Amino acid sequence: MTMTPSVQPYQDGRGNSMPRDANEPKRSILIYSPDLNFCFSLSMLFQDRYNVITTTNPGMLETFADHYAADLVIVDAVPSEKMIERLHGIRTAGRRIPIIMLYVFSPKETDLDSTIRSHVDSVIYKPFDIADMARRVEELLPG
């Protein structure tokens, strides 16, 4: 008996329906936010195309990124020195993982903003457009 691979559609970042080979392993996205509802909303956006892991515990970022072999990390957090340490830990864990950080920009914190930018692949200021977020994920995880 021969099996033909099934093809399941998914939505790309521009809302276009695209076929995806069901035998192709999904890439993984790790999402951190202290807001469980925000984690849920982002996971709903990406779950059809990616394996999505969420956490509301910032201390688990490095562990989850490593354990689940995350291909991309999305961090929704107030910029801080502690968060910079965590981002650095993700980056030095043995493989290069793209990181997107979401936060509200404060003109009082330009030095911190610059430091964050040196540790991530993309900063998206809140509020943000969902289509822009999806497009940026597609750019960082092509194919």
pLDDT digits (tens, 9 = 90+) for 29-42: 999 999 999 999 99
Residue pLDDT, tens place only, 45-96? 999 999 999 999 999 999 999 999 999 999 999 999 999 999 999 987 667 8
The pair of three-digit structure tokens given for residue 22, joined into one six-digit string: 């069901």
Query: Is the confidence at residue 138, as pLDDT, over 90?
Result: yes
* Mean pLDDT, rounded, for 9-31: 62
Share of the chain above pLDDT 90, in %: 70
Q: Could you tell me which residue, 4 or 25, shows the higher pLDDT?
A: 25
Report the predicted TM-score, pTM, of the whole model to 2 decimal places.
Answer: 0.82
For 61-74, b/e burial (b = at least 16 CB within 10 A) is bbebbbeeebbbbb
Contact 102, 128 (CB under 8 A): yes
In the structure, what pLDDT confidence band is assigned to residue 21 with cuts at 50, 70 and 90? low
Contact partners, residue 64, CB within 8 Å, separation at least 6: 30, 53, 55, 70
The pair of three-digit structure tokens given for residue 126, joined into one six-digit string: 């809140």
- Give 25-140's CATH code, choosing from 3.30.450.40, 3.40.50.2300, 1.10.1270.20, 3.40.50.150: 3.40.50.2300
Q: Residue 127: is the preceding peptide bond cis (ω within 30°)? A: yes
